[in-house]
Amino acid sequence: MLALFLSMNTSTTTLANRCRRFEQSDLYRQHETFFNDHFAKYPVFSMDFSHSLPSTAEAATSILWGNVISACKGSMEYFDTLANTFQEGNLGRFASIGDMKLAIRGIQEAHEKFRTDSSITGSGCGGFLKALMEVLYNCPGGQGSVVTIDEYDKPIFYALHELGISEEAREDIANVYSQFYTTIFKNNLYLRLGLMVGVFKVPLSGVLSEENSANVF
């Protein structure tokens, strides 16, 4: 529901339907200013690791890679739409249309390369997502992105307790996800909000061992 509320959408029909849905809620009736300030304003990347049960570091990487590919689909479609509607007076944070086109073309090429390489590392997955957030931030109307991850600790917990996996493999799997989370959540100027839902509290899980600004609910 959070992603549905915050996510920007290039489809006018879908956006109108979503707006009507939320206009019947207490959120709209009691906090109309908040609603208008935040409804459909952000790129949202949603991932779900509830069914991620990797037994090797390679499998962990592949699962993570697949989730990032799926989460980026809407943003890549947005770039396709934006590329056909460039306007000189609406450049976002770019200095010129040329700069905007160059940045969009660059991230599209990076996406093509990324989605054909399922062996990319955890930090590589995070690096691509962070680069995508930067381009979105600089585009017209751009604001920080929102990242939601359901059961962020499921793959790590499974790896640590699954019999038959070597200690080295367990550490490798944990490192894949730790590198990813650290890359996208720490010192990311293009992140508006990050929400990690899981069994273990983030500070106790160790996946963001140097992050001190996480709020626990």
Buried b (16+ CB within 10 A) or exposed e, 39-61: bbbbbbbbbbbeebebeebebbb
| 3-state secondary structure at position 51 | coil
Statement to judge: residues 108 and 15 lie in one domain? no
Cα dihedral sign, 164-170-172-173: positive
Instruction: Based on the fold, state whether residues 143 and 184 are members of the same structural domain.
Output: yes
Identify whether residues 34 and 77 lie together within a single domain.
no
Exposure class string for 121-136: b at 16+ Cβ within 10 A, else e: bbbbbbbbbbbbbbbb
Q: Are 75 and 136 in contact (CB under 8 A)?
A: yes
Task: Read off the pLDDT of each residue in 33-57 and give the average, rounded to a whole number.
Answer: 78
Amino acid at 100: M
On the question of pLDDT at 138 being above 80, the answer is: yes
Residues 119, 33: one domain?
Answer: no
Residue 121 domain flag = yes
As a whole number, mean pLDDT of residues 54-80 equals 87
Q: E strands along the chain, which residues?
A: 44-48, 145-150, 191-197
Looking at the fold, whether 97 and 168 belong to one and the same domain comes out as: yes
5: containing domain: 1-41
- Asked if residue 16 and residue 55 are part of one domain, the reply reads no
- Which of the pair, 107 or 60, is modelled with greater confidence? 107
Residues 164 and 59 in one domain: yes
Whether residues 48 and 37 fall in one domain: no
Alpha-carbon distance of 20 to 11, in angstroms, equals 14
Residue 215 lies in a domain: no
Q: Using the predicted structure, report yes or no on whether residue 91 has a pLDDT greater than 50.
A: yes
Average pLDDT, rounded, for the chain: 79
Q: Is residue 198 part of a domain?
A: yes
| pLDDT score of 88 more than 80 | no
Dist CA 68 CA 54 (whole Å): 16
**Into how many domains does the chain fold?**
2
Residue type, 209: S
* Cross-strand pairs, 48: 150
Asked if residue 105 and residue 9 are part of one domain, the reply reads no
pLDDT higher than threshold 90 for residue 52: no
Same domain, 5 and 87: no
State the average pLDDT over residues 69-77.
90
Q: Is the pLDDT of residue 175 over 60?
A: yes
The reply to whether 32 falls in a domain is yes
Contacts for 98 with CB less than 8 Å, ≥ 6 apart:
none
CA separation for the pair 101, 98 (Å, rounded): 5
Global pTM value: 0.81
**Alpha-carbon span 189 to 184, nearest angstrom:** 10
Residue 142 burial (10 A CB sphere; 0-12, 13-18, 19+): buried
**pLDDT tier at 57, thresholds 50, 70, 90:** confident
Q: Does one domain contain both 182 and 148?
A: yes
